[in-house]
């Protein structure tokens, strides 16, 4: 399966403003690119690429005063296989976990594990460990919260989302991640493209999506508390402890979002051949 993906994002900056953007396809998916995923900037300004401590591709740039536009458009190959389901995946005892996973057991900016310990163990303490436990957490979050773009709030934490019982995909992910960590399951936040492939089309404009991964057995598995069903065509951009680590843009000065468009569509084979 081939997917066309990309974005057009614009910011108005009242003064020259440094910024870090994290909009590139994750290195784990770059071998699947059919056409390059190149950051285009208007006006044409320098952007220095680097990898952060989580292995994500970032660009640092100095936007001039006025409007700066960022865009890309690429084709990528995808297996077309839904997220893997592994009901027998086991949960490790903490002392047997790979040391690099331990950071994903700790509290973070949007995932206040200290506030959820009692809630988590009261709700899930008797659930079988491993995959059934993660699925029970996803079921709980999916049923507990109402999704709506009008509920977006960039400062909303897992605790606030749980209390309000509503949010966007990042809030579903933050809450599920927090509950997993409280139950001693390493969980990390993911962001990327997720189009309406293999599911009914949504009427709302396309946006970047958030989901999460947990470490079970000897690998990481994908879960999605918002949709709570295996999906096709995820294109990972970045992973981290929570949304702080994978923000699509971090401004070091006042800027206003002036335009935002995301595209993620399956394309027919003929269109792929023409693009080459």
| Per-residue model confidence (pLDDT) at position 35 | 97
Q: pLDDT for 92-140, tens place per residue?
A: 999 999 999 999 999 999 999 999 999 999 999 999 999 999 999 999 9
Question: 171-229, pLDDT tens digit by residue?
Answer: 999 999 999 999 999 999 999 999 999 898 888 888 999 999 999 999 999 999 999 99
135 and 6 in a common domain: no
166 and 61 belong to one structural domain: no
> Based on the domain organization, do 224 and 106 belong to the same domain?
yes
Residue 147 lies in a domain: yes
Residues 139 and 109 in one domain: yes
Residues 74 and 173 in one domain: no
Asked if 110 and 224 sit in the same domain, the reply is yes
Find residue 72's DSSP bridge partners: 7
Q: Do 115 and 214 belong together in one domain?
A: yes
Same domain, 61 and 110: no
Domain of 202? 94-232
Whole-angstrom Cα distance, residue 22 to residue 254? 18
Q: What is the pLDDT of residue 88?
A: 97
Q: CA nearest 212: which of 237, 191, 184?
A: 191
Please provide the DSSP assignment of 97-144 as one string: S-GGGGGGGS-BTTB-HHHHHHHHHHHHTTSPSSHHHHHHHHHHHHHH
Query: Do residues 32 and 99 both lie within one domain?
Result: no
How many structural domains is the chain composed of? 2
DSSP-derived 3-state class of residue 171:
helix
- Compute the mean pLDDT over every residue in the chain, rounded to the nearest whole number: 95
Residue 273 has pLDDT above 50, yes or no: no
Report CA torsion sign: 123, 128, 129, 133.
Answer: negative
Specify whether 108 is located in the same domain as 176. Answer: yes
218 within a domain of the structure (yes/no): yes
Is the domain of 101 the same as that of 37?
Answer: no
- For the domain that residue 264 is a member of, what is the CATH number? 2.60.40.2250
Asked whether residue 43 falls in the same domain as residue 76, the answer is yes
């Amino acid at each position: 399966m081939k997917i066309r993906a990309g974005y057009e994002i614009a910011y108005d900056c009242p003064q020259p403003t440094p910024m870090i953007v994290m909009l590139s396809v994750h290195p784990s998916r770059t071998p699947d690119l059919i056409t390059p995923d190149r950051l285009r900037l208007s006006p044409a300004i320098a952007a220095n690429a680097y990898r952060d401590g989580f292995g994500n591709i970032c660009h640092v740039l100095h936007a001039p005063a006025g409007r700066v536009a960022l865009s890309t458009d690429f084709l990528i190959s995808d297996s077309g296989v839904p997220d893997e389901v592994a009901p027998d995946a086991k949960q490790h005892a903490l002392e047997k976990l790979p040391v690099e996973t331990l950071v994903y057991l700790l509290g973070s900016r949007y995932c206040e594990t200290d506030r959820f310990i009692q809630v988590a163990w009261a709700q899930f303490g008797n659930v079988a460990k491993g995959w059934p436990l993660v699925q029970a957490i996803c079921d709980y979050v999916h049923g507990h919260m109402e999704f709506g773009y009008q509920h977006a709030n960039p400062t909303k934490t897992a605790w606030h989302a749980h209390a309000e019982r509503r949010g966007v995909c990042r809030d579903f992910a933050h809450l599920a991640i927090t509950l997993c960590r409280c139950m001693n399951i390493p969980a990390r936040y993911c962001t990327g493209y997720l189009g309406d492939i293999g599911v009914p089309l949504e009427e709302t404009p396309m946006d970047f999506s958030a989901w999460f991964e947990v470490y079970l057995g000897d690998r990481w598995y994908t879960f999605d508390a918002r949709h709570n069903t295996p999906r096709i065509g995820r294109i990972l951009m970045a992973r981290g402890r929570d949304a702080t680590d994978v923000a699509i843009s971090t401004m070091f000065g006042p800027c206003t979002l002036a335009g935002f468009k995301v595209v993620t569509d399956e394309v027919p084979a003929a269109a792929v051949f023409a693009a080459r």
